[in-house]
Structure 1
């Protein structure tokens, strides 16, 4: 009974360990505004991300030009100049500043949608007008003809579709609650399972191997999540940019999975070596004292 109870507790602790790492990553890393901005800031130098942002901005500016100046101006001589200028703008320091400001706005909008019930009833959107204004100023500084006539309108891009906001909110609330008690529950279950075991060394070895297996499964889940995320994108051209963003945001989670794997294997190896050494150590020879001889009469 002790061994069965110990095995159940250790197995449950090993299952909860990767789940606790996932919840802690979502709440304390991904939902932290400062960490999110610092994580996404280097992506402004990624070529795939720059090209994807430039395409979105060029399309938004082209739509505005078509509404204000007509389709001929958007598709004629002005259109290619605008697209080329937008791509050039993504290589400037002003773009890096706009990129950080845009990511900050996106993060605030998503957090407001998932934390406050009913705060956002439609899709979560971000306005590209401030970035478009910077592009127009960049074109005007380069003395591009008709740059001052490029319209800067409110252009909202959906970050989270309306049908996914409710599910995202429920998932965030569940992870927020789990991040507080899952790590503590994992530690309590592991310690209790090892304490009630008939052979604590074997229970400790099993806990280490189970923790390593949980870390490996978490790393596999990150890889599968990347493939599924990129496969769901309708635009294949922007998949390299989405992959770069995914890799940046899950870097901490990948590190946590490798730490679980390394910690589990280390604990299991040390426990096995300690038990193996104990079994191979020969017992000390018993010292016998001869009985005193009887004196003859």
Structure 2
């Protein structure tokens, strides 16, 4: 293979590797990071102590309780005016307990399992979460605090929609694509990078180009995560708490941000190390040339006895 052809092929392969690196990290995060129930529950567990998340949960559960009260107001008309001032405060108090943290973990586990079953199945039914266990906990707390009519608060299956039925088909196809891409894109990026370096005429330069391209891809991934946060929060309905949604987004994308920083740091480190070794190698060669070019001084020959 001629030198120009090797140089062109190496450049194409390295460019493809650098392009696939951030997309591979994104696909692997979506397919394997978000799709693992245990990892998801572990990621979401600390959010039970976040004030914005607690307030959002309190508002959602409190509103659900009052909707059930309004639905039955012909039977329990005195309840709303008596209990309403205490409901939100009771729910907020409940979110500070160990029972809420346990319910939070179990609720996230159940929600994640339901979403995965919907994405991996074939039934187009909406995915919902039942808030009845939380409502029952709040009702017991109100009764323990001797709030009037608390025992008559209806505990119904208050379902909150997670995924709409009409969105499942599109999301299911995208999830299957991510499962495939999450494995093959990182593999393809590594293969392209190794092959591009192997066929390069100047391999040290090829390594430097690959490292800088990887760092650039990591920077682009970090910008994409920040831009995605802004767009996601901007498109939320008015009834959704943006501070709580921002906390959840940051928790879910923490691994992705770490991957972006890892690509950036690794790329810059390898590029700097390659430049440094190249510079030191050039200095050693220059020193050897100077040493070999310098004539070795000869000692004057002493006269022999005959010459004397």
- 2:83 maps to what in 1? 78
1:89 and 2:94 matched: yes
Cα shift readout 1:188-235 (whole Å, capped 9, x = no counterpart): 110110111111111100000000001001111110111111011112
State the match for 1:258 in structure 2: 261
How many angstroms apart in 2 are the aligned matches of 1:212 and 1:73?
65
Structure 2 unaligned regions, length at least 5: 299-308
- State yes or no: 1:249 paired with 2:249: no
Equivalent-residue separation in structure 2 for 1:79 and 1:144 (angstroms): 10
CA RMSD of aligned residues (A): 1.8
> Displacement of 1:72 after TM fit?
5.1
Distance 1:12 1:73 in 2: 69
TM-score, normalization by structure 1: 0.92
Quote the offset at 1:287 in angstroms. 8.9
1:144 to 130, 138, 147: 147
Query: SS state of the match for residue 72, structure 2?
Result: helix
Correspondence 1:216-235 to 2 at 5 A: 216-235=219-238
- 3-state SS in 1 of match to 2:162: strand
For residues 67 and 73 of structure 1, the distance between their equivalents in structure 2, rounded to whole angstroms, comes to: 13
Residue matched to 2:243: 240
Question: Aligned partners of 2:259 and 2:47: how far apart in 1?
Answer: 22
Q: TM-score, normalised by structure 2?
A: 0.89
1:152-199 superposed Cα distances (whole Å, 9 cap, x missing partner): 111111112233222221111111011222222111110110111111
Provide the C-alpha distance between the structure 1 equivalents of 2:275 and 2:125, rounded to a whole number of angstroms. 56
The within-5 A match list for 1:29-44 is 29-44=33-48
Number of residue pairs the alignment of both structures matches: 288
* 2:213 is equivalent to residue 213 of structure 1: no
- CA contact under 8 A between 2:14 and 2:192: conserved in structure 1? yes
- Post-superposition shift, 1:123? 2.2
- Residue aligned with 1:157, SS: strand
Q: CA deviation at 1:272?
A: 1.1
> Which structure 1 residue ranges, 5 or more long, are not aligned?
291-297
**Match of residue 23, structure 1, among 27, 41, 50:** 27
Matched, 1:285 2:303: no
Alignment check: 8 A CA contact 1:65 1:73 kept: no
